[in-house]
A and B are shown apart, each in its own frame.
Chain A
Amino acid sequence: MIRFRQGRWSIACVCMVLGFMVAVQLRTTADMKGSVSYQRIEEITARLLNTEQERDGLKEELSALRKQKASEAGGSISEDIRLRAGLTPVEGEGIIVKLEDSSATAKAGENPNLYLIHDDDLLKVINELRAAGAEAISINGQRLIGTSEIRCAGPTLSVNNVRSAPPFEIRAIGDSKSLESAIRMRGGVAETLKVWGIQLEVSTSSSVYVPAYKGSTSHTYAHETEEKEGESK
């Protein structure tokens, strides 16, 4: 058919390069088709938001129905338990702690992370408040209950699996004087955080509103059981 008199090997090399390029191009195109487009992401995000709203609405309806049922049954014990569990919004004497990232800029060579609020800073504040007898605590509208977490989530914090960014507002109901002094204690949380310029503002109030826990309270793994003597230690 076609005969090349000269340079057969170099032509083979060129053909090899061509084959390589074709293969790479084929795979790149296949990859591009496989990835999700921005439009699709936006669409799905919108749908997720819608579903979340629907879920919240249903949850509210559910809690309203439960409340109705509880009031019909007239169980004062169950109401008390619900209050303890954080399922009802509460109000009372307490303090509001506002935390904001440091306004100071990090000097050259210094770690800017030191000037930001971290999950452990909040944990320390919460721990102090609990030690001082806080009865109900919320962070940025998220009620803290037995299973609540306070966790670093990139530049934000996650509480009850809901993310929020600074400034943080911690509301605590309890004896406002002891709560305030627990925060302002010498060598305590406020002083440590002030070293890094983190703005901490404490205000007491005779009526602090703490919202109810809005997440799910179902238990999948834990079952109620009899008390066992040997394993209680």
Chain B
Amino acid sequence: MILPILGLVAGFAIGYVFPVVIPLAYAKLFSVALLASLDSVFGGLRAALGGHFDNTVFISGFFTNALLAAFLVFVGDRLGIDLYYVALLTFGFRIFKNLAILRRHLLKKHGLERPHLPDE
């Protein structure tokens, strides 16, 4: 668990120190890509908790999801279709769902969940 967190901190530091700024025209694409990768990470965490984590699936999903999301938004922009909001909704929805599942997994693991109670 310590290694991914170290990686996260290192990446954050690099991003903060390096003078990389996304041009305004691509800021939208980048934010969608970021959301997609966040979704992948939460999905990976959930899979790990569920015990069916697959490294290849996780890593390929991380990159393809981000790139595909950005590409779709880009194409949508060209076609005049606001796929941006679609991507936001989809990924946002999935992130919340994954978070909920994560929470229940953790609660179950620590025996805090009362049995047979509907989701709040």
B41 and A14: CB pair below 8 A? yes
CA gap between A8 and B14 in the complex, in Å: 20
B1 and A1: CB pair below 8 A? yes
CA gap between A18 and B8 in the complex, in Å: 7
6 intermolecular pairs with C-beta atoms under 8 Å apart: A8-B4, A16-B11, A19-B15, A21-B37, A23-B13, A25-B34
A7 and B22: CB pair below 8 A? no
Say yes or no: is B27 at the interface (Cβ < 8 Å to chain A). Answer: yes
Q: CB-CB < 8 A to A28: which residues of B?
A: 21-22, 27, 30
Minimal beta-carbon separation of A196 from chain B (angstroms): 40
CA gap between A139 and B16 in the complex, in Å: 53
Q: CB-CB < 8 A to A31: which residues of B?
A: 21
Minimal beta-carbon separation of A34 from chain B (angstroms): 11
B1 and A2: CB pair below 8 A? yes
Q: CB-CB < 8 A to B24: which residues of A?
A: 32
Minimal beta-carbon separation of A8 from chain B (angstroms): 5
A24 and B15: CB pair below 8 A? yes
Q: CB-CB < 8 A to A3: which residues of B?
A: 1, 48
Given A14-B58, A15-B11, 10 new contacts (CB under 8 A): A12-B7, A15-B41, A16-B7, A19-B12, A21-B15, A23-B11, A23-B16, A24-B30, A25-B31, A31-B21
> Which residues of B are at the interface with A, using a C-beta cutoff of 8 A?
1, 3-16, 20-22, 24, 27, 30-31, 33-34, 37-38, 41, 44-45, 48-49, 53, 55, 58-59, 62
Say yes or no: is A9 at the interface (Cβ < 8 Å to chain B). Answer: yes
* Interface of chain B, main secondary structure: helix
Minimal beta-carbon separation of B40 from chain A (angstroms): 8
A17 and B11: CB pair below 8 A? yes
A18 and B14: CB pair below 8 A? no
CA gap between A191 and B10 in the complex, in Å: 70
Q: Which of A19, A25, A28 has the most CB of B within 10 A?
A: A19
Chain A 4-41: CB-based contact to B (< 8 A → 1; otherwise 0): 10111111111111111111111110011000000000
Question: Which single residue of chain A is at the shortest CB-CB distance from B12?
Answer: A19
